[in-house]
Amino acid sequence: VHIPDPFKCKSGPVDLVFLIDSSRSVRPHEFETMRKFMIDILNTLDIGPNATRVGVVQYSSQVRSEFSLKTHSTLDTMVKSINQIIPLAQGTMTGLAIRYVMNVAFSAEEGDRPKIPNVAVIVTDGRPQDRVAEVAAEAREKGIEIYAVGVARADMTSLRAMASLPFEDHVFLVESFDLIHQFGLQFQDKLCGVDLCSESDHGCEHICESSPGSFHCLCLPGYTLNADGKTCAAIDLCSEGKHHCEQICISSPGSFSCDCNKGYKLNDDKKTCSMIDYCSFGNHSCDHRCVSVLSGFHCRCNEGYRLLADGKTCRDVDMCSTVEHGCEHQCVSTPGSYYCICPDGNLLQEDGKSCGTCRSANIDLVLLIDGSKSVRPQNFELVKKFVNQVVDSLDVSAHGTRVGLVQYSSRVRTEFPLNMYHSADEIKAAVMKVAYMEKGTMTGLALKHMLENSFSEAEGARPLGRNIPRIGLVFTDGRSQDDITEYAKRAKEAGITMYAVGVGKAVEDELREIASEPVEKHFYYTTDFSAINTIAENLKLNVCPEESQGEIEVKDPCACENLVEFQQATMSRMAARLEQLENQLLSRK
């Protein structure tokens, strides 16, 4: 609403200083109201170096001049400076601030003019932490007219101690920062005359703000002026979607707060929600695992256990009685699983369920073949065929028998380690490609290499704990050029079952020293290379005596009982369990 009057207030020149309380109890939006209050008053005044000069000082525990009486000569630069003020946010040293205004702000150096009225407007929200009465009296005696505007928690006694007389014109106590415009209107009225808000039926629902010769309506913070220019409507930020709440938005005029659904709690950012983890309180008393849900928690059991009716206790499930286990002899339950065992004297087979007198050639076999020059190239080919005949009699696979080959002469060379090939065909093809060394005969060195390298886990020997028999077979045609005693003994002490095969000029004593007990079953000799295929047959026949008696033709080495010797005695039940677990793991892959 405008009543035509193009002129600003011409009340005559004034030197005006605002003293603004920016203590920590003044909230940011309240400080913004102070800022607006100053700007609104400035808009009604005739600003200029020869008209009204204005300075602004803010204070809390210290005093800071934002600009002095001589700083700005135009309204625009003054408003810009006011908008850049940053609150100090400390204590409330009002007395200190009044002394600063009296001694510094209203000084000639700061732009104070002689014989021009000095007006100080103090806006504060609290009780001063220092003495104000004496310094305010001193300022008034110097001719400074003091207006005291108290907001919310301000103390009327302190305000009257600061202000000039008469108090009804100079002291204002309002309930909130939203109402300090009332003082602005009265102050404008003092300087400018007619107040249309108080002297006309303005019709503003919330706030009427006078300006020279006119007025307009304003709304309290959180409300917006309707199109009629008079009534106000609350701003609902929730319904307008101007919020950042993850779950629930609670609206208040011009503001909002966030909340969460049941079973969730508000995070520190006051926006997002997290599910309440009831398990983390430590009072759930679950036997195994606690699972948090919206309404609380429930208990779960580890695999192989079931939850009892109390909802907390877990009992292991007897897998043997609840699944088709297929064990030939006996099933043993473990939490979440089971395994089969066999009667004494029997071994668990590869399927982990059936029992037999031996396992199907489940061994780690390393062959040491003599590549010395006395063997001759054509005989070396026969040696390779001998090796392949031995391989044919075995059940080769990654989980059954593994075969490694080492050739030695003056030096030792691994032709292939235990973990290189997983089928008989691959091994036989690799054997036929082996190149003949044709040097000396260092059998002791070869035994050392077998013990330290060939039967290492790095080269494919399975861990000792699994009780997979380790078999070493040494083939030689002559006397060793180095000592074999130490490493022949150490190999047997390490649990390796040693077989010795000699041809031609091989020394029987050396072969017997290499061979395991009983020596007769682990030591073979022939004078002629062309007869070593017979040794391969005999080696097999000695393992399976039924075949030598001509009763049955044994293709599966597991059908004979004497292979137990070849495999270094019956394995323990735990070894069988370990092997079965490995098979289960491999089958899952």
Residue 3: is its pLDDT beyond 70? no
pLDDT of residue 589: 54
Q: Which amino acid is at 450?
A: M
Cβ neighbours, 10 Å, residue 466: 14
For residues 347 and 237, which has the higher predicted lDDT (pLDDT)?
237
Q: What would the mean pLDDT of 578-586 be, rounded to a whole number? A: 70
Pairwise CA distance, residues 414 & 430, whole Å:
12
Residue 438: is its pLDDT beyond 70? yes
pLDDT of residue 242: 82
The CA–CA distances, whole Å, from 234 to 175, 181, 230, 238, 255 equal 21, 20, 14, 12, 10
Q: What would the mean pLDDT of 470-481 be, rounded to a whole number? A: 91
What residue ranges define each of the domains in the chain, with the CATH number in brackets? 14-192 (3.40.50.410), 319-356 (2.10.25.10), 364-542 (3.40.50.410)
pLDDT of residue 204: 92
Confidence of residue 2 (pLDDT cuts 50, 70, 90): very low
For residues 208 and 184, which has the higher predicted lDDT (pLDDT)?
208
The residues, ordered by sequence, that sit 6+ positions from 146 with a Cβ below 8 Å of its Cβ are 98, 120, 122, 136, 139, 140, 162, 163, 164, 170
Give one word for 568, left, alpha or beta, with left for phi > 0 and alpha for psi -120 to 50: left
| Pairing outcome for strands 347-348 and 355-356 | antiparallel
Contact of 84 with 152, CB cutoff 8 Å:
no
Contact of 506 with 524, CB cutoff 8 Å:
no
Structure tokens that stand for 299 in this block: 């208990």
Q: What would the mean pLDDT of 58-67 be, rounded to a whole number? A: 96
pLDDT of residue 558: 45
For residues 393 and 59, which has the higher predicted lDDT (pLDDT)?
59
Instruction: Determine the 3-state secondary structure of 344 from DSSP.
Output: coil
Confidence of residue 185 (pLDDT cuts 50, 70, 90): low
Q: What is the DSSP letter of 439?
A: B
Determine if the pTM surpasses 0.85: no
List strand residue ranges (DSSP E) for 376-480, in order.
402-408, 412-416, 470-476
pLDDT of residue 153: 78
Pairwise CA distance, residues 179 & 125, whole Å:
13
Confidence of residue 572 (pLDDT cuts 50, 70, 90): very low
Pairwise CA distance, residues 392 & 361, whole Å:
12
Residue 5: is its pLDDT beyond 60? no
pLDDT of residue 258: 94
Contact of 362 with 396, CB cutoff 8 Å:
no
pLDDT of residue 195: 59
Q: What would the mean pLDDT of 520-545 be, rounded to a whole number? A: 72
pLDDT of 21-54, one tens digit each? 999 988 888 888 889 888 888 887 888 898 899 9
For residues 573 and 402, which has the higher predicted lDDT (pLDDT)?
402
pLDDT of 136-161, one tens digit each? 999 999 999 999 988 877 888 999 99
- Helix, strand, coil % in the chain, rounded to nearest 5: 35, 25, 40
Contact of 474 with 498, CB cutoff 8 Å:
yes
Confidence of residue 541 (pLDDT cuts 50, 70, 90): very low
CA dihedral 513, 494, 388, 575 (to 10 degrees): 140
Q: Which residues pair with 233 in a beta bridge?
A: 224
Confidence of residue 444 (pLDDT cuts 50, 70, 90): very high
Confidence of residue 98 (pLDDT cuts 50, 70, 90): very high
Angle between helices 424-432 and 377-392 (to 10 degrees): 180
| Pairing outcome for strands 412-416 and 355-356 | unpaired
The residues, ordered by sequence, that sit 6+ positions from 490 with a Cβ below 8 Å of its Cβ are 447, 451
pLDDT of 229-246, one tens digit each? 999 999 888 988 888 899
The residues, ordered by sequence, that sit 6+ positions from 103 with a Cβ below 8 Å of its Cβ are none
Q: Token pair 């065929």 is at which residue? A: 385
Pairwise CA distance, residues 59 & 85, whole Å:
12
Number of residues that this document lists for the chain: 589
Q: What would the mean pLDDT of 491-498 be, rounded to a whole number? A: 92
pLDDT of 320-344, one tens digit each? 887 788 888 889 888 777 888 888 7
Sign of the CA dihedral with 105 first, then 107, 108, and 114 last? positive
For residues 214 and 482, which has the higher predicted lDDT (pLDDT)?
482
The angle formed by the CA atoms of residues 102, 104 and 108, to the nearest 5 degrees, is 105
Residue 11: is its pLDDT beyond 80? no
pLDDT of residue 305: 84
Confidence of residue 584 (pLDDT cuts 50, 70, 90): confident
For residues 182 and 31, which has the higher predicted lDDT (pLDDT)?
31
pLDDT of residue 329: 85
Lowest pLDDT segment from 9-23, 168-182, 451-465: 168-182
Residue 10: is its pLDDT beyond 90? no
CA dihedral 195, 201, 202, 205 (to 10 degrees): 130
For 187, list phi and psi in degrees, rounded to 5. -65, -45
Q: What would the mean pLDDT of 173-189 be, rounded to a whole number? A: 67
Q: What would the mean pLDDT of 168-185 be, rounded to a whole number? A: 73
Pairwise CA distance, residues 148 & 262, whole Å:
50
Instruction: Determine the 3-state secondary structure of 497 from DSSP.
Output: strand
For residues 317 and 540, which has the higher predicted lDDT (pLDDT)?
317
Pairwise CA distance, residues 177 & 125, whole Å:
9
Q: What would the mean pLDDT of 302-307 be, rounded to a whole number? A: 82
Residue 565: is its pLDDT beyond 70? no
The CA–CA distances, whole Å, from 117 to 148, 184, 384 equal 17, 19, 124
Q: What would the mean pLDDT of 160-173 be, rounded to a whole number? A: 87
For residues 432 and 529, which has the higher predicted lDDT (pLDDT)?
432
Pairwise CA distance, residues 569 & 73, whole Å:
111
Give one word for 498, left, alpha or beta, with left for phi > 0 and alpha for psi -120 to 50: beta
pLDDT of residue 25: 86
Peptide bond into 166 cis (omega under 30): yes
Residue 532: is its pLDDT beyond 90? no
Q: What is the DSSP letter of 129?
A: S
Q: What is the DSSP letter of 101?
A: I
Q: What is the DSSP letter of 570?
A: P
pLDDT of residue 575: 56
pLDDT of 551-562, one tens digit each? 223 334 444 444
Residue 110: is its pLDDT beyond 50? yes
Among the residues of 301-439, which ranges form H helices?
319-322, 377-392, 424-432
Average pLDDT score, the chain: 83
Structure tokens that stand for 71 in this block: 């700083």
Pairwise CA distance, residues 409 & 442, whole Å:
6
pLDDT of 425-434, one tens digit each? 999 999 999 9
Consecutive H or E run containing 157? helix 156-162
Q: What would the mean pLDDT of 387-410 be, rounded to a whole number? A: 88
pLDDT of residue 428: 96
The residues, ordered by sequence, that sit 6+ positions from 183 with a Cβ below 8 Å of its Cβ are 37, 147, 149, 172, 174
Give one word for 466, left, alpha or beta, with left for phi > 0 and alpha for psi -120 to 50: alpha
pLDDT of residue 166: 86
Confidence of residue 211 (pLDDT cuts 50, 70, 90): low
Contact of 463 with 457, CB cutoff 8 Å:
yes
Angle between helices 377-392 and 532-543 (to 10 degrees): 20
Displacement of CA 273 from its chain's centroid (Å): 19
Confidence of residue 409 (pLDDT cuts 50, 70, 90): very high
Residue 471: is its pLDDT beyond 70? yes
